[in-house]
Amino acid sequence: MVHTTGIESKTFPQYVAALSATGGAFAAGTLLGWTSPAQNRLIGGEYGFPVSTAAFSWIGSAMTLGAAFICIPIGFLINMIGRKLTMLLLVLPFTLGWALLIWAQNVEMMYAARFILGISGGAFCVTAPMYTGEIAQKDIRGTLGSFFQLMITAGILFIYAIGAGLDVFAMSLVCGVIPLIFGAIFVFMPESPTKSKNESAIKSIQWLRGKDYDYNPELEELKATEEQIKQNSVSVGTALLRPVTLKALAISLGLMFFQQLCGINAVIFYSTDIFKDAETGIDENLSTIVVGVMQVIATFVSVMVVDKLGRRLLLLASAIVMALSTVAMGVYFYMKDNDNASVANLGWLPVSALCVFIIMFSIGFGPVPWLMMGELFASDIKGVAGSIAGTSNWVLAFIVTKTFVNMKEALGSGQTFWLFAGITLLGAVFVFLFVPETKGKSLNEIQKLLEGNSNSTPIAVNNSNNSSNDNGNVN
């Protein structure tokens, strides 16, 4: 879609709409962080029924299974009923999931609750980046796209903070209200303007760009996009097999693979255990809150610089420093496993390395893969292709979180972190060789770049305004 014209548009409404849309990401962040403060209390019998360590690992990972289950179906639903209505409907499973968790009578109810909550969280991970990518001007698309990860980290910090003072019942009750607040706010936001023949597209554009904004050039480009899609109309399978789609899918899947295999979810889900194992003497809840604060601050920094420094630089710096951090954690835990006395004065090392890891993940490999998922795909296949990328992310999240403890037992703590470090370095190589820079490029220009024709001029309609066009169309 076009996001710039010769007439200056307002950006504040776009920020408001993007932040509102990522309220669901905040709710998803509470799901990711919930396991850390809840683990010891549930295993300790706080809910009145037994929860073993093995059972809790399934409670934690059931969310990722729910997210993986929904990602592909949600891609079709997005195209059928639109982005806005899809996100509003997700409030229902969010509310049901928290209700089941709050009033759980046995472990099986907790499994079901976390699975249903994962459905909502996973669906938001596909829908919200797509929505923000479509409503934003190209010069702020990176910033708005990074709001998604920022709100995820804010949700994690929120659950860490309230978890330090509330029991699991009260903590879950507070989290259950968040999706309702999101729905009450987002209902007033516009649908993303994707259909030129729909009068709501004009209203959406004017809401997002200002009443005085000349929407005609943007509307004409929407029409041109739809005409191209109509002329090149193919089945979903054929569209997925286009070379440009396969290339975009390979890049997106690669970024999702390295995002999860760097070990981030193992760190988030088991952060309390990592601090406990490190024997720092610092209160475990306080330690995780500090990490959460740093994560939010670092993600905010990424939001500020992603449209200035570019995607590739943030990804490369993130991967290299994360690898060094996990090497340092591996050294500490390897020494600890072999001679506990040798690390008596090194308690600061794993905590410092963990903090640096979280910061660098939040600057690069946290927000950028989700941002680029909303940039790389043509509009006619974006829902399905984005869903495939989202599904792969959550399947990998499940594998990492479910097997982290097993890997520690089989390989040793140090060796497990070194494995993450090696994979992360491969991620840096992948970014350097295959990931294109999309900073400052329109969605149409990104498609041309993936086709190998970076010098091509994007579709220009109504050049009387000397507009710089931003069109997320297909070939």
Asked whether the beta carbons of 159 and 171 are under 8 A apart, the reply is yes
Q: How many CB atoms lie within 10 A of CB 46?
A: 14
∠ CA 85-190-92, rounded to 5°: 25
Q: Please give the Cα distance from 81 to 76 (Å, whole number).
A: 9
> 22-39 as b/e, with b when 16 or more CB fall inside 10 Å?
bbbbbbbbbbbbbbbbbb
Structural domains in the chain?
9-192 (1.20.1250.20), 242-453 (1.20.1250.20)
Exposure pattern of 144-158 as b/e (b: 16+ CB <10 Å)? bbbbbbbbbbbbbbb
Distances (CA, A) of 116 to 63, 82, 272: 7, 22, 25
∠ Cα 163 165 169 (to 5°):
60
pLDDT reported for residue 170: 95
CA-wise closest residue to 50 among 108, 123, 119: 108
Under DSSP, the state recorded for 286 is H
Say whether 310 sits in a helix, a strand or coil. coil
The span from the CA of 428 to the CA of 17, in Å, is 33
What was the pLDDT predicted at 127? 87
pLDDT digits (tens, 9 = 90+) for 210-248: 776 666 666 666 666 666 666 666 666 777 788 888 899
What's at 303, amino acid-wise? Answer: V
DSSP 121-140: HHHHHHHHHHHHHHHS-TTT
Cα 49 from chain centroid (whole Å): 34
How many other CB atoms are there within 10 angstroms of residue 342's CB atom? 11
- pLDDT reported for residue 473: 34
Residue spans of the chain under pLDDT 50? 1-6, 196, 455-475
Token pair recorded at residue 170:
């009260």
Other Cβ atoms within 10 Å of 467 Cβ, number: 20
- The pLDDT value given to residue 77: 86
- Output the six-digit token pair for 75: 């891609």
The pair phi, psi for residue 129, each rounded to 5°, is -60, -35
Q: What distance in Å separates the CA atoms of residue 174 and residue 294, rounded to the nearest whole number?
A: 23
* Biggest alpha carbon–alpha carbon distance for the chain: 75
Q: Identify whether the C-beta of residue 85 lies closer than 8 Å to the C-beta of residue 397.
A: no
- pLDDT of 227: 66
CB crowding 396-434: b at 16 or more within 10 Å, else e: bbbebbbebbebbeeebbbebbbbbbebbbebbebbeee
Structure tokens at 301: 């920094």
Q: What is the spatial distance between Cα 88 and Cα 120, in angstroms, rounded to a whole number? A: 10
